Amino acid sequence: MNKILVLSILYFLPVIAFSEQVKNVKSVFDGNKVTITYDLTEDKTGTTFDVNVKCFDFYDNEVAMYSKTGDIGSGIKAGAKKQIVWKIQNDYRKINSELYFVVEAIVHEPYELSPPQNGNYPEMVLINGGTFQMGSNDGDSDEKPLHSVTVSDFYIGKYEVTNEEFCAFLNNQFVLKDRLTEIINLDDEFNAENLTEKCRIKMIDSLFFVQSGYENYPVINVTIYGVIEYCNWLSNQNGLDCFYYFDDEQIFCDFNKNGYRLPSEIEWEYVAGNGEKHTKYSWGNSYPEGKNGGNVSDISLRSKILSWGCFSEYFDGFEVDAPVGSFNPNEFGIFDMTGNVWEMCNTKNCLDFVLKGGGWFYGPEYCTVSRSGEKYYNFDGNNIGFRVVKMKK
C-alpha cells in the first residue's frame, strides 16, 4: 500500500507540517509567484516519492494550479531544499482570499516502463503537390484572406511524433542530458477535475523510458529547440543534410537542404484540408461522427472542465490526448491533423513558429484547417506536439 505523507502550508498564515519525513517547509510570495521549499527524508536508501501540491482558499475550495514546476511529480528523490514554484500571475490576475497549500508525498512505486528503442523513425507518406485556396474569408483575422497557393511534392509524417520515437532520439544523444530542460519538460503536468495530462517520458539512471501503455501517444512538452535537435538527428541518421542550424542561439533554416523539418503552414494546411478540396476539418466539412472525426473538445470533456469551445453532441472516447491513429485518416492517409495535439509549423522565415490543428482541449472554431494558433518562438505545452516533413528527392 502506498504511504501518504501530507504537509500543509498556510499562505500568509503559519506553516504547519504533519509528517516527520517532510521538514523545514516554507512558502514565499513575491508578487508574481509562490515558492514552496521543503526537505524530504527517506525511510530507506533509494526511496523516491510522487509529490503533488494542491491549493485551497479560505472556504476550502480547491484553486487550480496550472503553472507549477520544480520538485513535483514522479520519482522525486529525498533531499534538502526541494522547491516548487507556482507562477500564480500566469493563472490568475487576482485572488481575494487567503490560500493554503497541501503537499502530498507518496512513496513511489515505479512505472512499468518500456525499454528504450533505437532506429525508431516516423513513417512518411509522399504528398503530390498542387494548387489550392488557402485560408478563409469567414474565419479569424489570421485566416484571411482566401488566396491561391502552390505547393511542391514532399513527404510528411503519417502520424504525430510519438513518445517512443522521441525517446529513441533522447537515448542516442547523450550530450543533451546536460541541457535537458532546453529540449523537453519532463515535469510539466496538467491536473483538473480528475484529469491528468503530463509528459510520459522519464529519465532513470541516465536512460530515457516511456511509461508503459503510452508508447504510441504523441510526445508533448517538447521545446522548439528539442524539435529542431530531433529533426537534425533524423537527418543525420538517414544521411540527409540538416535543414536547421544555430547561429548565436538563433535558429535559421537552409531551404537548399533536404533534411527533416517541421511542415510549413502552407504544406500543413494543404495536407490537413485534403489538397485542392480544402475541407473545413481534416475529416471533411461536416461535424465529427464516431471515427470520422478526431480527438477534440467533446461533451465528456466539457462536462468536467471549461475548455475552449465544444463539439456538442460528439463523444470521441478520450478526455485528454489519444494514441496516434485512433481515428480515420484523411484522404491523403494522414492521421490526427485535426485534434489530439496542436502541431508546430514553420513560418516562412523560421524566425518564429505557429500552431495548427487544434487539440483535445479545443472546439470547432479552433480546429479548422485554416485557423492558426499563437505565433511564438518556443513552445513546450502539454497539448502541443509535432510531425515532420522532408522534401522529395
pLDDT of residue 201: 93
In angstroms, the Cα distances linking 356 to 4, 82, 117, 291, 362 are 41, 37, 29, 21, 12
Give the tens place of pLDDT for each residue, 164-205: 999 999 988 655 666 788 899 998 888 776 678 889 999 887
For cell 469567414, name the residue: 138
Q: Which domains does the chain have, with CATH numbers?
A: 4-110 (2.60.40), 124-391 (3.90.1580.10)
Q: Degrees (nearest 5) of the Cα angle 234, 149, 352?
A: 50
User: How far apart are the C-alpha atoms of 224 and 378, rounded to whole Å?
Assistant: 5
Stretch 274-291: mean pLDDT: 94
How far apart are the two ends of the chain, measured CA to CA in Å?
57
Say whether pLDDT at 13 is over 60.
Answer: no
Buried b vs exposed e over 153-187: b needs ≥16 C-beta within 10 Å?
ebbbbbbbbbbbbbbbbbbbeeebeeeeeebbbbb
Instruction: Give, in order, the Cα–Cα distances in Å from 393 to each of 208, 240, 334.
Output: 33, 10, 20
Between 84 and 219, the more confident residue is 219
From 152-156, 169-173, 208-212, the region with the lowest mean pLDDT? 169-173
Distance CA 285, CA 139 (A): 14
* Percentage, residues of the chain above pLDDT 70: 82
**Which pLDDT tens digit goes with each residue over 121-134?**
899 999 999 999 98
Number of alpha carbons in the 13 Å side-chain half-sphere of residue 383: 24
Pairing of strands 384-385, 342-346: parallel
CA distance 293 to 284: 9
Check residue 374 and give its pLDDT: 66
Burial (0-12, 13-18, 19+ Cβ within 10 Å), 206:
exposed
Note the pLDDT of residue 87. Answer: 80
